[in-house]
Amino acid sequence: MKTVIFDLDGTLADTSGDLIAAANHCFRDMGEGDVLDPGADAGTALRGGRAMLRAGLTRLGRAEMEPTIDHYYPLLLDAYGAAIDVHTQIYPRAMEAVERLKTGGYGVGICTNKPERLADVLLQKLGVRDAFASLVGADTLPVRKPDPEPLHEAVRRAGGAPGRSVLIGDSDTDRNTARAAQVPCVLVTFGPAGGDMAALEPEGLLADYADLPQMVDRLLA
């Protein structure tokens, strides 16, 4: 079976607002107030909790950041899990594209660097978990993207063959994962980092999910 695997944060859904809120919860606990801005720092948010903490601590001029990041990262995950879908929205026409792909005979799954439990909770709350045959998170395997094995596992769990798949993403991590797996990569241009996607030279650039099924047909012909 040909398979389409999606990244989650910044690809299927804009999760940046809830991620920023969780990071700012940590900064408030440090006595610093809200250090990150939901708009200006959205791209950083989609690179994960540690990236947000590191960016905020750098802005504050904090030295020896790594022990602080190690301490606050579990607190950030707890805060995020407690309010995971307050601001998050699935991108327009994303789920319509998923259903069209499934109707066309493709398997669909998710490969994300979000912890699997949190990814599952979010997809359940958004009402779309059952649309995806597989879900592989950052901690599902001993390795995470850009190692190709999580992508391969997501394909296998969706009933597909790793060599007949395409990865839909929004970052250099996704581009490098697809390259390591030797499969095509489509990067979305409507997320916070969209302006940088062309420079990564993916096999496809996606401005509207309505165009995805036809693009996948071409790449996996």
Phi and psi angles of residue 220, each rounded to the nearest 5 degrees, phi first = -110, 20
In this structure, what token pair is assigned to residue 82? 């407690």
In the β-sheet with 185-188, what is the strand arrangement from edge to edge?
134-136, 107-111, 3-6, 165-169, 185-188, 204-206
For residue 209, give the DSSP letter: G
Question: Residues with catalytic annotation?
Answer: 7
Measured between alpha carbons, how far is 43 from 57 in angstroms, rounded to an integer?
16
Task: State the residue for tokens 């165009």.
Answer: 211
Question: For 105-135, b where at least 16 C-beta lie within 10 A, e where not — what string?
Answer: ebbbbbbbbbbbebbebbbeebebeeebbbb
CA distances from 68 to 45, 71, 154, 189 (A): 18, 5, 33, 34
